[in-house]
Amino acid sequence: HTAEVNSTVTIVEGVFEGIADEVYSPALAVFPNPVQQVLNVSAEKALGNAPVTVHEVSGKLVLTGTLQNGRLDVSGLVPGVYVLQVISEDGNLRTRFTKQ
């Protein structure tokens, strides 16, 4: 007996557009914005030491870490616009901020 397998593979080509069209969370607030050193992050529920990622608007990951009592040191970032993602029990919360 001979087994025969038929399958179809679809290849989709495209350009990664970054995260410019991401859904942002109105429940997530950051201040000061623009920021120079330390970004304060707050939400409806306390975030404490939640894990976070920071991406350039192009989509490039530039920082991973955890909040320290709702604060994130962004002094090492170059000036520009970034997307902060907070990984919380309620899902991923995102917002933009500007580093001066």
Name residues whose C-beta falls within 8 Å of residue 38's C-beta, 6 or more positions apart in sequence.
71, 72, 73, 74, 75
In a domain, 16, yes or no: no
Looking at residue 79, its pLDDT comes to 98
Assigned domain for 76 exists: yes
Q: Examine residue 17 and state whether it is found in any structural domain, yes or no.
A: no
Between the two ends of the chain, the Cα-to-Cα distance in Å is 70
Number of domains in the chain: 1
d(CA 34, CA 95): 13
Phi, psi of 47 (to 5 degrees): -95, -20
Range of the domain at 71: 29-99
Residue range 38-52, pLDDT digits in tens: 999 999 888 889 999
Q: In this structure, is residue 4 part of a structural domain?
A: no
Q: Which CATH number fits the domain that encloses residue 69?
A: 2.60.40.3080
Q: Is the pTM of this model over 0.85?
A: no
